[in-house]
Amino acid sequence: MHLARFPRLRLAHLPTPLEPLPRLSEALGIDLWIKRDDCTGLAGGGNKTRKLEFLLGDAFEQDADTLVTQGAVQSNHVRQTAAAAAATGLKCQVILEERTGSKATDYVHNGNVLMDRLFGATIRSVPGGSDMPAELEKTADEVRARGGRPYVIPGGGSNAIGALGYVDCAREIVVQADELDLAIDRIVTATGSAGTHAGLVAGLAVLGADIPVLGIGVRAPKEKQEANVLKLARETAMLLGHADRVKDAMVVADCDYVGAGYGLIDQAVVDALVLAARTDGIVLDPVYTGKAMKGLIALAKAGRFEGERVVFLHTGGAQGLFGYQGELDAMFG
């Protein structure tokens, strides 16, 4: 595995810390560590920065002058893409899907949306359920019609090029664990657009690290999520010349903690946010890491991780908390 073969634009503060969570471990009765990918630096950090390093490397190889991407209204990916464009002198066109249906002022104007505007992104909103690949192509065509050179990034930065960022993260985790003499039994992460989960699976498979990854779903049903992750993991491993190393059994998603739907929070998510904050001072987000922690807590209490050392991959997104102020205030009581 030789990632220097792929174009890359360095944007992230790496390596991110791998550290214990002693008080949360005690509360849950497991040996829990955290990989701090909320500390990647760009626009406040988050997992998309790793993907954007490879995506922007490819964009500059193609002489693009405009990044075109999409996400939900409070998209962490859009925030980091807008920041990456600003930092590299590119234009940025984004499409925000009204996926949750929320019209709350803080959801529509605060949090990540406020930061998108701060970074100078041009924003277009579309109704929930829109054909987002078609909307991306429509915007790219508009850029071309103006004489621009668009580079289209799928939602979450989740294609094989973007997933290379989490191949690199897999390598980074293994190196750090070896330096700490830390035997890892399992990695737990949120799984949504599939790029982070797929990149980890592909990277660990190519390395031969034999560390299982459990994805806690935030949107799709289990069968669909696992199929999406497996397909992308194989495409990513193919880029590395080892597609055969990704086996079906390596892809596991638990989608029992989605709740009412993507971006919709419940009391168990709030409880997870509070527990992480008030034990080890970890700030999670309502959409991804909050639901992943909700699942991890429930599984730990059910004895799923008994005798295991678990690493929770924190994918960032705390900026989105400010888009949920009204709901969180009500649930805090």
d(CA 212, CA 173) in angstroms, rounded, equals 13
Per the DSSP assignment, residues forming a β-bridge with 66 are 91, 150
Q: Are 206 and 242 in contact (CB under 8 A)?
A: yes
Decide if 193 is catalytic: no
If you ran DSSP here, which 8-state letter would residue 302 be given? T
Q: Which pair of tokens denotes residue 141?
A: 């065509």
- How many CA atoms lie less than 13 Å away from 218 in the CB half-sphere? 26
Handedness of CA 133, 234, 166, 286 (dihedral sign): positive
Are β-strands 91-98 and 309-314 bridged in parallel, bridged antiparallel, or unpaired?
Answer: unpaired
If you ran DSSP here, which 8-state letter would residue 238 be given? H
- Residue 47 sits at the vertex; the CA angle it makes with 45 and 51, to the nearest 5 degrees, is 115
Of residues 75, 102, 158, 193, which has the active-site annotation? 75
Q: Just list the catalytic residues.
A: 75
